[in-house]
Amino acid sequence: MTIIRDFKAFLLRGNVVDLAVGIAMGAAFVAVVNSLVADLITPIIAALTGNTNFSSLTFSVNGSQFRYGSFINAIVSFLTVATAIFFFVVTPYNHFQSRMRKEPPPDPTTRKCPECMSEISIEAKRCAFCTAQVAPA
């Protein structure tokens, strides 16, 4: 039984879950995001620039060809994947983790004076505000 409990604790550690989520979601979103960028976002940008094939935009310097259209497609794909993972994986996971962590409330360091109801130290024998004698806590 302790092996199962240890295995569960290992799986729910933050770095293992983060790594698994990163790999799985990255692999799952590749086709969807590439299609989104190529079929929806690229035509919108191409309509603004007047070029129908945005990914083929290039410029040359001394015979070297720079494909900045493909680079922009890759940046848009990355940002789309990062946004989707953040909103649909990371945010729910953080919410789940915060609900799982139930920390006990800290020990009180102050208490109320029975006479004037002001906050005084838990170790005080006399209230600093009304000077009433206070019974030990």
**Pair of tokens at residue 10:** 């290992």
Same domain, 137 and 87: no
Same domain, 15 and 79: yes
Per-residue model confidence (pLDDT) at position 54: 63
Q: Which residues of 11-30 are buried (b: 16+ CB within 10 A; e: fewer)?
A: eeeeeeeeeeeeeebeeebe
Same domain, 86 and 37: yes
| Number of domains the chain contains | 2
Give me the CATH number covering residue 34: 1.10.1200
Same domain, 22 and 79: yes
Structural domain containing residue 18:
2-100
Upper half-sphere CA count for residue 82 (Cβ side, 13 Å)? 6
Same domain, 51 and 112: no
pLDDT one-digit tens code per residue, 66-113 = 888 778 777 877 787 788 778 887 899 889 888 887 777 777 888 889
Contact 72, 38 (CB under 8 A): no
pTM higher than 0.75: no
Per-residue model confidence (pLDDT) at position 66: 86
R_g of the chain, CA atoms, integer Å: 30
Same domain, 80 and 133: no
pLDDT one-digit tens code per residue, 21-54 = 778 877 777 777 777 777 887 778 777 777 656 6
Same domain, 94 and 125: no
